[in-house]
Amino acid sequence: MKRIMLIFMVMLLLVSSATSVYADTNTVKVNTADATVEIKVSSAGYSSFKAIVEKDDVEYIYNLVSANETLPLQMGSGKYKISVLGSNDGRRYKLLSDKTINVTIDEEVVFLNATQTVNWNEESQVAILAKELTKDAVTDQEKLEIIHEYVITNVRYDYQKAASLPKGYIPLADDTLAEGTGICYDFAAMMASMLRSVDVPAKLVKGYSSYTPVYHAWNEVLIDGEWVVVDASTDSIYVDYNVAYTLVKADSAYVGSKVY
């Protein structure tokens, strides 16, 4: 009788929890209004975790580096599968839970959120600075120009860091601001964090550009209904060498592979 009651209680929990999946080691919560997935994990039997967000044969794999992570649903409306995996050796991972959801996504909302890669909040130094810099700005174009100018004149490209970057590196916008140096990934994360904090939708994009022979990161920013390409790390190097640059780059010079 006790066993039957236990099974019934577990079934009741799963049926009544429309937005969450519970397992021994993790919780997955989907916030469709914010177009994000929250994942909470514990160390119960595992030393490291990964999350996989899939849609239409495209997948994003994330290392879960803290107990509470927020990941974007950046592939538009439709069916997503979210999986959480655990490992003790960092090589072999066991599926702990998965969840399939159908969501309707507002693209602008996706790229206003704080997430694992674009990690800011109202108390972040980058957010406080962005609000101060743009307090008199009227349009999103003005906000973009002010923030871009600040970043490319106050952050220098770090060639040594680029040559010795650890695997699975995740940028921290406040650290980039404090240190005043970074690689393209840092520039793009800082730009996206500052823009989003003042309500300007901004993507962090990874891929390839004709401006550099190596894997690269840049931003796409929504201005007057159009996504425009902005490349702060490249422009900062132009500033170093007193080379003229244009704020908005040609789409044809960039091929994105991942968007955050």
With beta carbons less than 8 A apart as the criterion, state whether 231 and 209 touch: yes
With beta carbons less than 8 A apart as the criterion, state whether 85 and 52 touch: yes
Q: What CATH code would you report for 125-259?
A: 3.10.620.30
Give the mean pLDDT of 6-18. Answer: 29
pLDDT at site 45:
82
At 176-226, the pLDDT tens digits run: 999 999 999 999 999 999 999 999 999 999 999 999 999 999 999 999 999
Residue written as token pair 């996706």: 110
Answer whether residue 9 shows pLDDT above 50.
no
Architecture of the domain spanning 17-105: Sandwich (2.60)
Q: Which residue ranges does the chain devote to CATH 2.60.40.10?
A: 17-105
Burial of 26 by CB count in 10 Å (0-12 exposed, 13-18 middle, 19+ buried)? buried
14 band by pLDDT with thresholds 50, 70 and 90: very low
The rounded mean pLDDT for the chain is 89
Give the mean pLDDT of 39-57. Answer: 89
Chain centroid to CA 207: 15
DSSP 126-195: HHHHHHHHTTT--SHHHHHHHHHHHHHHH-EE-HHHHHTPPTT----HHHHHHH-EE-HHHHHHHHHHHH
With beta carbons less than 8 A apart as the criterion, state whether 140 and 200 touch: yes
Measured between alpha carbons, how far is residue 203 from residues 21, 126, 228 in Å? 28, 16, 10
Give the mean pLDDT of 107-132. Answer: 97
At 156-189, the pLDDT tens digits run: 999 999 999 998 999 999 999 999 999 999 999 9
pLDDT at site 26:
60
pLDDT at site 32:
76
With beta carbons less than 8 A apart as the criterion, state whether 87 and 46 touch: yes
pLDDT at site 173:
98
DSSP 57-78: TEEEEEEE-SSEEEEE--S-SE
Give the mean pLDDT of 88-96. Answer: 92
Q: Which residue ranges does the chain devote to CATH 3.10.620.30?
A: 125-259
Structure tokens at 159: 């060639």
Start-to-end Cα distance in the chain: 50
Residues sharing a CB contact under 8 Å with residue 160, sequence separation 6 or more, in sequence order: none
Task: Name the phi and psi angles at 165, rounded to 5.
Answer: -70, 130
- Cα separation, 123 vs 180, in Å, equals 19
17 band by pLDDT with thresholds 50, 70 and 90: very low
pTM above 0.85, yes or no: yes
pLDDT at site 2:
38
Provide the total of helices (H) and of strands (E) in the chain, helices listed first.
8, 14
With beta carbons less than 8 A apart as the criterion, state whether 118 and 71 touch: no
pLDDT at site 108:
93
Answer whether residue 10 shows pLDDT above 50.
no
Counting residues of the chain whose pLDDT is more than 70, the rounded percentage is 89
Structure tokens at 214: 């190596």
Answer whether residue 61 shows pLDDT above 60.
yes
Residue written as token pair 């690689």: 183
